[in-house]
């Protein structure tokens, strides 16, 4: 009975169970591998399952615990988004271009978690090169939402989100460029954390938009996010954008006594594009914070409405540059039968990249080209600075900013793939935090027609502890994060 219930427990509860010898890391790993084998065919959450390596890591974890050298994460089974390089294991980034790429090294966060004794169950499906909001652009096919298999789980970290929500792993890593952790967290009923830009290393994380990409976590609870981020965060000399600021003790900080917070609500987040029932669930969650003693006040983010157009100039421009390395010469997909080098390049990239990636490369190349750089890219960077300044002014008066994570609950697979603009608008509430480099998270706050809804919280730079503490105390007084899809209970 204990093992059957394990997949519904949080990481912190699993850690306690391992420490109390209620279950071994080997037994826990076998349990999750069994669920993956039984259930993932319908979800398509995993690209690669590393069963043999996982069992070896679990055995090593049990030895560490027996020897008294374990950490809180030793023996905990998680999954990594298939954007993080992993030694000797395929790292595809959801693309045909990298379908045959086996990394010779570990990404820094993978190495840190491995050193802590984490068990890696496998690599999760994702939108190709992290470009998407629904996890429908993957070369390996769409991921399905455990709450409704006909609906999307959100993207681009949809595989990680679906795997955690369905109880196929205890937690998972993800990346967030414009909302790609928070959005799938909201649509699958999870807690998704994007830390401050530079707080967790990007070394070994395949680049999409280098000034926006950030590693983070997908877990059931804020306490779980604190546990993982405690290990993942910190300076890395291999990453020139890594921050040298000391990492606080998040795990201890979230348990400290509640302090009354000033929470700002941007009323322009509650616009006509927000589903009315979504809005009601978010408003109700703000009432919970008020009952805890928080002060709720309106704040102005005057330029946040520019987030989507700014993002879809800046991100494609950086993608155009980052993805120029995929030419078929050094690694990745290689076209066959080309008559000359130019044809080889063209055919390799035409065959290797999917439609959405090509769209963004073309857009990015256009806005960086002579005659258009000043009109588009330079203007977008100026507007980006205005958005960052809006947040800075708001945080002079409030401790956190709260609002919806997504405009609607999870939508049907195929509904928006033919309309890129409508798809891009799914990130309308999340992009601003990326443009400003701020920490942000989504936590479950209710349901609409049986589908999860997320509350987004945004904090000032390096205030992950404040963010996690607020989310943790919210979850001590609610049970939305405890709900699991009936079919995967």
Per-residue pLDDT tens digits for 392-431: 999 999 999 999 999 999 999 999 999 999 999 999 999 9
Active-site residue 324, yes or no?
A: no
The single residue of 95, 108, 134, 156 carrying the catalytic annotation is 156
Rounded distance between C-alpha atoms, residue 44 and residue 49, angstroms: 11
CB contact set of 404 (below 8 Å; sequence gap of 6+):
269, 270, 274, 278, 279, 282, 429, 453, 454, 455, 456
Residue 3 has pLDDT above 80, yes or no: no
pLDDT at 446: 97
Q: With b meaning 16 or more CB within 10 Å and e meaning fewer, what string describes 315-332?
A: bbbbbbbbbeebbbeebb
pLDDT in tens, 233-260: 999 999 999 999 999 999 999 999 988 9
Pairing of strands 215-219, 191-194: antiparallel
Q: Which residues of 382-392 are buried (b: 16+ CB within 10 A; e: fewer)?
A: ebbeebbebbe
Extended beta strands in 99-201, E state = 119-124, 172-175, 191-194
Q: Tell me the three state secondary structure of residue 79.
A: strand
Whether 416 contacts 422, CB under 8 Å: yes
- Whether residue 1 has pLDDT greater than 50: no
pLDDT over 90, % of the chain = 97
Residue 339's H or E segment, with its range, is: none
Dist. CA 122–CA 52, nearest whole Å? 10
Contact status, residue 434 vs residue 457, Cβ threshold 8 Å? no
174 burial (CB, 10 Å; 0-12 / 13-18 / 19+) is buried
Report residue 349's pLDDT band, with 50, 70 and 90 as the boundaries.
very high
Mean pLDDT of 183-189: 98
Summary mean pLDDT of the chain = 96
Cβ–Cβ < 8 Å for 311, 429: no
For residue 156, indicate whether it is catalytic: yes
> Is 180 in the active site?
yes
Mention every residue, 6+ apart, whose C-beta is less than 8 A from residue 466.
261, 399, 400, 459, 460
The architecture (CATH level 2) of 2-259+482-488 comes to Alpha-Beta Complex (3.90)
Query: Taking a C-beta distance cutoff of 8 angstroms, is the pair 127, 134 a contact?
Result: yes
Of 210, 276, 274, 284, nearest in space to 242 by CA: 210
pTM of the predicted structure, to 2 decimals: 0.97
Which of 134, 138, 180, 442 is flagged as catalytic?
180
For tokens 């037994």, name the residue.
27
Q: Sketch the domain layout of the chain as residue ranges.
A: 2-259+482-488
Cα separation, 215 vs 235, whole angstroms: 13
Beta-ladder partners of 200: 233
Strand partners, 443: 455
Give the C-alpha separation, 292 to 192, whole Å.
22
Choosing from 9, 15, 24, 81, which is the catalytic residue?
Answer: 81
When pLDDT is cut at 50, 70 and 90, the band that residue 147 belongs to is very high
Q: Are 8 and 484 in contact (CB under 8 A)?
A: yes
Query: Using CA atoms, how far apart are residues 405 and 303, in angstroms rounded to an integer?
Result: 18
pLDDT for the residue numbered 5:
80
Residue 206 is predicted with a pLDDT of 98
Contact between 299 and 265 under an 8 Å Cβ cutoff? The reply is yes
What is the arrangement of strands in the sheet containing 451-458, beginning at the earlier edge strand?
A: 46-49, 119-124, 77-81, 172-175, 215-219, 191-194, 440-448, 451-458, 400-404, 262-266, 295-299
- Within 8 A by CB and 6+ apart from 46, the residues are 36, 40, 79, 122, 123, 124, 125, 159, 163, 168
List Cα–Cα distances, 186 to 181, 211, 283, 447, in angstroms: 9, 24, 15, 10
- The values of phi and psi at residue 194, to 5°, are -110, 110
d(Cα 371, Cα 2) in Å, to the nearest integer?
Answer: 65
For 11-51, the pLDDT digits (tens) are 999 999 999 999 999 999 999 999 999 999 999 999 999 99
Q: For 102-143, what is each residue's pLDDT tens digit? A: 999 999 999 999 999 999 999 999 999 999 999 999 999 999
Alpha helix stretches (DSSP H) within 292-405: 307-322, 341-352, 355-368, 379-394
The residue-averaged pLDDT of 219-229 equals 98
């Amino acid at each position: 009975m204990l093992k059957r219930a394990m997949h519904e427990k949080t990481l912190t509860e699993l850690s306690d169970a391992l420490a109390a010898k209620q279950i071994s890391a080997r037994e826990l790993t076998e349990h999750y591998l069994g669920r993956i084998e039984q259930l993932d065919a319908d979800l398509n959450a995993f690209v690669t399952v590393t069963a043999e390596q996982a069992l070896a890591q679990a055995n090593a974890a049990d030895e560490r615990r027996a020897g008294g050298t374990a950490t809180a994460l030793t023996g905990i089974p998680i999954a990594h988004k298939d954007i993080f390089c992993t030694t000797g294991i395929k790292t595809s980034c959801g693309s045909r271009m990298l379908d045959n790429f086996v990394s010779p090294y570990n990404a820094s966060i993978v190495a840190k978690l491995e050193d802590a004794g984490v068990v890696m169950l496998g690599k999760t499906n994702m939108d190709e090169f992290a470009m998407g909001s629904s996890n429908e652009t993957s070369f390996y096919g769409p991921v399905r939402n455990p709450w409704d298999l006909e609906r999307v789980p959100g993207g681009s970290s949809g595989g990680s989100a679906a795997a955690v929500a369905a109880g196929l792993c205890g937690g998972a890593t993800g990346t967030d460029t414009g909302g790609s952790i928070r959005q799938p967290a909201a649509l699958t009923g999870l807690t998704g954390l994007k830390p401050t830009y530079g707080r967790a290393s990007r070394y070994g994380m395949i680049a999409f938009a280098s000034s926006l990409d950030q590693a983070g976590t997908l877990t059931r609870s804020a306490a779980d996010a604190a546990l993982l981020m405690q290990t993942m965060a910190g300076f890395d000399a291999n990453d020139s954008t890594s921050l040298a600021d000391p990492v606080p003790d998040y795990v201890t900080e979230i348990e400290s006594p509640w302090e009354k917070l000033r929470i700002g609500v941007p009323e322009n987040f509650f616009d006509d594009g927000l589903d009315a029932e979504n809005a009601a669930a978010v408003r109700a969650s703000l009432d919970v914070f008020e009952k805890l003693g928080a002060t709720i006040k309106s704040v102005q983010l005057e330029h946040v409405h520019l987030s989507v157009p700014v993002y879809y100039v800046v991100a494609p421009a950086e993608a155009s540059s980052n993805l120029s390395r995929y030419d078929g010469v050094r690694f990745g997909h290689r076209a066959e039968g080309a008559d000359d080098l130019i044809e080889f390049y063209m055919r390799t990239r035409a065959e290797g990249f999917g439609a959405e990636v090509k769209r963004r490369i073309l857009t990015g190349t256009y806005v960086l080209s002579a005659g258009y750089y000043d009109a588009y890219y330079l203007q977008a960077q100026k507007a980006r600075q205005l958005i960052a300044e809006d947040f800075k002014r708001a945080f002079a008066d409030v401790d956190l900013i709260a609002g919806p994570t997504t405009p609607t609950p999870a939508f049907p697979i195929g509904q928006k793939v033919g309309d890129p603009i409508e798809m891009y608008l799914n990130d309308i509430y999340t992009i601003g935090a990326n443009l400003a480099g701020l920490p942000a998270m989504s936590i479950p706050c209710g349901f609409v027609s049986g589908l999860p809804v997320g509350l987004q919280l945004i904090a000032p730079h390096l205030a992950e502890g404040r963010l996690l503490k607020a989310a943790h105390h919210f979850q001590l007084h609610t049970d939305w994060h405890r709900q699991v899809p009936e079919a995967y209970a």
